[in-house]
Structure 1
Amino acid sequence: MIIDTHCHLDDTRFDDDLDAVIERAKAHGVRGFLIPGAEPKTLAKARKIAHTYPEVYYAAGVHPYDINEYDEALLLEHLQDEKCIAVGECGLDYYRLPEDTGQRHEEIAAQKRVFGAQIELAKRVGKPLIVHIRDAGSDSMQMLIDHHAKEVGGVLHCYNADEQLLKLAGHGFYYGIGGVVTFKNAKKLPHVLPKIPPDRIVVETDAPYLAPHPRRGKRNEPAYTLYIVEKIADILEMDVAEVESLTTRNAQRLFKPFATLQMV
């Protein structure tokens, strides 16, 4: 019993075999899927997929790389849909910012404006956040605290083992653990994982990206949650079934519609 809390099933790489991808995942115990909204132009496709498969839900938001496409009216339209259960993925990503100081400051300010708008939007509609953070831990944490994101909570996606972000567990946030934890060269996340409160861990693949070992370099898909769960169990010295049950309960608590799904 596993819930993949972050899988881009609306990506074109799944266009030819989405039925098979979902069936493979279900055969490996995946009972719920959440498509994060990253680009406004793909939201209609995500909605169609969510309404085609009972176990699939989606979110509406704008990734920090696509802030110029932010359209609050469009997001609100989707957030009224019963199968749209979260706002995001949104957040801050400084990884690709230019070195020029002036331009860098402008782009950071723009990302913060759009991220702040989406935090407020989540509070308005009463739905949790899916937060993307890359090389922006301090600013992201401060914004979530300053905007009182605790009112809706959410999950930290692309969590790069920044220990300061553990503070957000006390502000209603969960931590998405994906394929990176299985990488042979991964050091930070296996070190930090035991410090995350167990009731704040959820599983995600980020499919089709970041396939776990031993599938690294291939197209990722929700069935590969099994490798992530196995690695979490190994690091935390727990049974695989215990990790599946724990992370499923956590996902259901955060994304409440998943609690209505048949989990066996």
Structure 2
Amino acid sequence: MQLCDTHCHLDDKRFEGDFEAVLERAKKAGITRFVIPAAHLEDLERARELAHKYEEVYFASGLHPNYAYLYDEEFLKSFLGDEKCVAVGECGLDYYRLEEALAESKLGSIEELKRIQKEVFVAQIKLAIAYEKPLIVHIREASSDSLEILQKYAKDLKRGGVLHCFNADFQLLSLAKEGFYYGIGGVLTFKNARKLVEVLPKIPLESLLLETDAPYLTPHPHRGERNEPAYIPLVLEKMSEILGIPKEILIKQINLNTENLFGEVFGAA
């Protein structure tokens, strides 16, 4: 088995002490390629450094919606031309922590913060269009607004994108026809994942990707521990069980999906 963890924050400080051991455990588990999405501008230098040090590691240039008020387009552009930069993101809309983000941003209102999130999301979509890179999308409690924006620009996104940590919202399934993929991670193994379990069979196999969001969202039975790419097989096992499809078939299709989204270098070895 050789798979890609399409969304793992390996630049997080929680991996500093044993980064190479984390990679080694992942490889033993059959995870051989890794995409580090940027969340904060401060993450990008570290992500690029890791991508250039380790052949199997790649990164994306973008800004998480929680930090949209810090947007610096020229800074993001300085990374997008890098040969190891495979996407724009993670970017999108997040209405879950608006009060917290408002306090940090020192903006005047929630509505102003939402407006800035939308503007910055659109700006990053336009970067993905200009650089012909796929989009890594973060959506939390903002499905309707996100869908409206993505539908407006989908036809211009030649490389499509992935809805990271797919939230199981039925209305977002329409984006599969627009070239979007759905990142499935540890949440699928949670006891309270009934909605995702219900929605999963409705996602075309040609639109599925695997991710961890490490160090977050650790799958069962490791809840409470730091998540890492080596746990991808736990998600694959649960996916196979829910869909009633052998793991070998899922692996083949998901590898093809990953290659279609991120490029030939992500094809199964």
Alpha-carbon distance in 2 for matches of 1:242, 1:218: 30
CA RMSD of aligned residues (A): 1.5
Partner of 2:221: 214
Equivalent residue for 2:199, pick from 184, 192, 199:
192
Alpha-carbon distance in 2 for matches of 1:14, 1:196: 32
AA aligned to 2:74 is A
AA aligned to 1:111 is Q
User: Do the aligned residues in 2 keep the contact of 1:2 with 1:245 (CA within 8 Å)?
Assistant: no
Partner of 1:253: 260
Counterpart mapping for 1:227-238 below 5 A: 227-238=234-245
Q: Is 226-235 or 139-148 further displaced after alignment?
A: 139-148
Q: What secondary structure sits across from 2:109 in the alignment? A: helix
Q: Is 150-159 or 131-140 further displaced after alignment?
A: 150-159
Alpha-carbon distance in 2 for matches of 1:128, 1:258: 14
Equivalent residue for 2:231, pick from 194, 214, 224:
224
Q: What secondary structure sits across from 1:212 in the alignment? A: coil
Partner of 2:122: 116
Alpha-carbon distance in 1 for matches of 2:241, 2:31: 20
Shift of 1:106: 1.3
Alpha-carbon distance in 2 for matches of 1:33, 1:257: 14
Partner of 1:7: 8
User: Do the aligned residues in 1 keep the contact of 2:31 with 2:229 (CA within 8 Å)?
Assistant: yes
User: Do the aligned residues in 2 keep the contact of 1:32 with 1:258 (CA within 8 Å)?
Assistant: no
Q: What secondary structure sits across from 1:181 in the alignment? A: helix
- 1:153-205 deviation per Cα after TM superposition (whole angstroms, max 9, x unaligned): 10001211000000000111000000000001211100000000000000000
Alpha-carbon distance in 2 for matches of 1:111, 1:33: 27
Counterpart mapping for 1:7-46 below 5 A: 7-46=8-47
TM-score by length of 1: 0.95
Q: What secondary structure sits across from 1:147 in the alignment? A: helix
Partner of 2:179: 172
Counterpart mapping for 1:93-132 below 5 A: 93-98=94-99, 103-132=109-138
Partner of 1:202: 209
Partner of 1:146: 152
Partner of 2:166: 159
AA aligned to 2:64 is H
Give ranges in structure 1 of 5+ residues lacking alignment. none
AA aligned to 1:121 is L
Alpha-carbon distance in 2 for matches of 1:179, 1:72: 32
Alpha-carbon distance in 2 for matches of 1:34, 1:257: 14
Alpha-carbon distance in 1 for matches of 2:3, 2:159: 23
Alpha-carbon distance in 2 for matches of 1:76, 1:113: 17
User: Do the aligned residues in 2 keep the contact of 1:163 with 1:192 (CA within 8 Å)?
Assistant: yes
User: Do the aligned residues in 1 keep the contact of 2:132 with 2:157 (CA within 8 Å)?
Assistant: no
Shift of 1:151: 2.9
User: Do the aligned residues in 1 keep the contact of 2:39 with 2:62 (CA within 8 Å)?
Assistant: yes
Give ranges in structure 2 of 5+ residues lacking alignment. 103-107
AA aligned to 2:143 is G
TM-score by length of 2: 0.94
User: Do the aligned residues in 1 keep the contact of 2:186 with 2:212 (CA within 8 Å)?
Assistant: yes
Work out the percentage of aligned pairs sharing the same amino acid: 54
